[in-house]
């Protein structure tokens, strides 16, 4: 038997595209170039490198002079570290019932972070002061976990976006009740592109205390960041990454990717394109009889309802996920590398399957 060569071989068809997740996309070429740039020679480990030191300036240009950045491996890790920094052993976190920390993190905030989640149903993925008050009580009740944090998602898991005023209202409401505010920004660039405002407009300036800043869904290979916007609101950040297994030894390779995204306009270019492709997809889908778009298309996600059988046939041609299989609700995601041809081909396939 001839041994398989030891050098790497491409094992996938790079022409195959899907709409399952923006995580399915590859790495942006400009990010790959940055990784190669950072690769030569030796640099101190665990964040002592020149790239991580410079990253503080990069983030502060977007989020203000007091932002402190702590790169981590992934989004779940960012959320767990951030929420740990804002809670103590009796702490609870109020969040939307569709939030990623509640539905898609395998209980990590509760099992690893040691906190309690208090999910609240929302019509569109967005919390309001009135909705928060459904769980914001019982601070003196020794039988109940203490609400200490409100966690928002921007853009939301339903593809909607909070306006800066909406986030400001939530932050003021939470702060008045002695709570802090965490923002899960896995798709924060898509929200900023949709709102056409600076990143700080709905974070620092709106009163957010700690931010989970996403990069993977916008063209990075790996890595997210916890950004402390209000240092008075947190504790133990220096130790929490290691405690939660999120301290990268070769941190320069996370930091340099964020620099590639944020030092110029790459973050915005990628997000605007993904959003534009989602808008094109929604426009095409609206012309297909029998398909219902479920929520406002404000970022890079389209949620729709269609007959289950048609969805199953379509999924054999293009990858995507059922959001609520019993209800026939699906989610279609666009990425920085989604093309107009990808979208138009998908809409044509949808039309064919709906006509069968």
Residue ranges for the chain with pLDDT beneath 70: 1-6
> Tell me, what's the pLDDT at 33?
98
> Tell me, what's the pLDDT at 6?
65
pTM of the model: 0.96
Q: Are 80 and 244 in contact (CB under 8 A)?
A: yes
Q: Are 191 and 203 in contact (CB under 8 A)?
A: no
Write down the H helix ranges in 122-265: 129-132, 164-176, 188-195, 237-243, 252-262
DSSP state of 93: E
Q: Which domains are delineated in the chain?
A: 29-262 (3.40.640.10), 266-355 (3.90.1150.10)
* Residue 276 vs residues 86, 108, 338, 342: alpha-carbon distances, Å: 36, 33, 10, 13
> Tell me, what's the pLDDT at 141?
96
Torsion of Cα atoms, 186 then 188 then 12 then 4, to 10°: -60
E strand segments, 5-90: 68-72
Q: Which residues contact 169 (CB under 8 A, 6 or more apart)?
A: 128, 129
> Tell me, what's the pLDDT at 1?
55
* Residue 210 vs residues 55, 121, 232: alpha-carbon distances, Å: 17, 23, 11
Q: Which residues contact 2 (CB under 8 A, 6 or more apart)?
A: none
CA 118 to chain centre: 20
CA 46 to chain centre: 24
CA 331 to chain centre: 15
């Amino acid at each position: 038997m001839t041994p398989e060569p030891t050098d790497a071989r491409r094992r996938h068809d790079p022409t195959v595209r899907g709409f399952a997740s923006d995580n399915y996309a590859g790495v942006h070429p400009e990010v790959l170039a940055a990784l190669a740039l950072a690769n030569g020679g030796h640099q101190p480990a665990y964040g002592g490198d020149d790239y991580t030191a410079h990253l503080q300036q990069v983030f502060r240009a977007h989020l203000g002079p007091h932002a402190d950045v702590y790169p981590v491996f992934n989004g779940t890790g960012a959320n767990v570290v951030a929420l740990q920094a804002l809670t103590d052993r009796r702490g609870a976190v109020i969040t939307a019932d569709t939030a990623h920390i509640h539905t898609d993190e395998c209980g990590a905030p509760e099992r690893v972070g040691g906190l309690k989640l208090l999910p609240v149903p929302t019509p569109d993925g967005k919390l309001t002061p009135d909705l928060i008050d459904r769980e914001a009580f019982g601070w003196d009740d020794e039988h109940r976990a203490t609400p200490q944090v409100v966690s928002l998602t921007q853009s939301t898991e339903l593809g909607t976006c909070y306006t800066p005023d909406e986030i400001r209202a939530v932050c003021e409401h939470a702060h008045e009740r002695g709570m802090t505010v965490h923002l899960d920004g896995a798709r924060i660039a898509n929200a900023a592109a949709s709102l056409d405002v600076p990143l700080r407009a709905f974070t620092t300036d709106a009163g957010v205390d700690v931010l989970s800043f996403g990069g993977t869904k916008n063209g990075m290979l790996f890595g997210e960041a916890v950004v402390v916007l209000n240092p008075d609101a947190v504790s133990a950040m220096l130790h929490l990454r290691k405690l939660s297994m999120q301290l990268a030894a070769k941190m320069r390779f996370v930091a340099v990717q964020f620099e590639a995204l944020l030092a110029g306009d790459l973050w915005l270019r990628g997000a605007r394109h993904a959003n534009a492709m989602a808008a094109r997809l929604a426009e095409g889908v609206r012309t297909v009889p029998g398909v219902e778009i479920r929520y406002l298309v404000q970022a890079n996600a389209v949620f729709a309802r269609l007959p289950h059988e048609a969805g199953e046939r379509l999924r054999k041609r293009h990858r995507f996920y059922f959001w609520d299989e019993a209800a026939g609700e699906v989610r279609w995601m666009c990425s920085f590398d989604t093309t107009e041809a990808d979208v138009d081909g998908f809409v044509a396939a949808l039309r064919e399957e709906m006509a069968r």
